[in-house]
Amino acid sequence: MGADEAILEAPVARRLPDPAPKATVSVSVPAPRPVVALSPTLGEAASLAAAASSLEELREAMAGFTGSSLRDTATNLVFSDGVVGAGTMIIGEAPGAEEDRQGKPFVGASGQLLDRMFATIGLSRSENLYITNILPFRPPGNRTPTDAEVALFMPFLMRHLELARPKRLVLAGAVSAKGLLRTRDGITRLRGKWQQVTMANGQVMDALPMLHPAYLLRNPIAKREAWADLVLLRRAINDG
């Protein structure tokens, strides 16, 4: 074994002693308090949405829904704008400061760009466009909506689609596209081709993801892609 020399008469144990076992402490943990009763749930959002039989009832149900703290910090519910019954419905992300003040979607700087973009293909909210957002309340500081917020308001949006009955959707920006297409793919991958949104009742609706106008304001070079998408949209409208 390689030991070729005896130094002492008897062997010596040189390993460090094992550490003494730690004293066990017993802690008493209070039983968790039930949280279900504290906040309205996704189920409540779903049943409120399902009970609405008109857009006005849906707006009232959303205004009265206290299940999200976004309601506490917002000034106004932002429900929709444009022509009810229009064939094309735009779904944005969430109200910004100006939308929150006025209670209407897309009325700030990015909304003005959106209006100019859609006017180039003959669409306007006074004639043939209907507009809403994934979230009806402004997230504080214009932060990006969380996945949980998107999920919580989804039953209202699904009911909104059933009641407004557009022929096609435009999903403005990543939050809208990912939320409605239930994917983690980014908007640059999703845009440029028609996709399909499956509604709560199983019906499928054509949906065109586009870059968000706020992104286009920051990245004017990307207006090329937006223009290509507008051409796709116009073609689909022409084809009926």
Binding residues (CB under 6 A) for ligand URA: these are 92-96, 99, 105-106, 108, 110-111, 133, 172-173, 214
Whole-angstrom Cα distance, residue 194 to residue 192? 7
The nearest distance, CB 225 to ligand URA, in angstroms, is 18
**Two structure tokens written together for 149:** 């917020």
Smallest Cα–Cα separation from 59: which of 46, 70, 49, 67?
A: 49
The answer for residues whose C-beta is within 8 angstroms of residue 207's C-beta and 6 or more apart is 168, 169, 170, 171, 180, 181, 194, 195, 196, 197
The nearest distance, CB 176 to ligand URA, in angstroms, is 7
Whole-angstrom Cα distance, residue 173 to residue 177? 6
The nearest distance, CB 44 to ligand URA, in angstroms, is 25
Show the CA angle centred on residue 120, arms to residues 158 and 129, nearest 5°: 25
Question: How many CA within 13 A on the CB side of residue 141?
Answer: 2
Residue 228 vs residues 58, 185, 232, 238: alpha-carbon distances, Å: 34, 20, 6, 16
- Measured from the CB atom, is 210 or 230 closer to ligand URA? 210
The nearest distance, CB 169 to ligand URA, in angstroms, is 14
User: Shortest Cβ contact with ligand URA: which residue?
Assistant: 92
Q: Do the Cβ atoms of 87 and 129 come closer than 8 Å?
A: no
Three-state DSSP at 91 gives: strand
- Measured from the CB atom, is 46 or 76 closer to ligand URA? 76
The nearest distance, CB 132 to ligand URA, in angstroms, is 8
- Measured from the CB atom, is 51 or 97 closer to ligand URA? 97
- Measured from the CB atom, is 211 or 233 closer to ligand URA? 211
Segments in 52-194 forming alpha helices (H) = 55-64, 70-73, 97-102, 109-119, 147-164, 174-181, 187-190
The nearest distance, CB 110 to ligand URA, in angstroms, is 5
The nearest distance, CB 57 to ligand URA, in angstroms, is 22
Q: Do the Cβ atoms of 144 and 175 come closer than 8 Å?
A: yes
- Measured from the CB atom, is 82 or 108 closer to ligand URA? 108
- Measured from the CB atom, is 104 or 159 closer to ligand URA? 104
- Measured from the CB atom, is 211 or 214 closer to ligand URA? 214
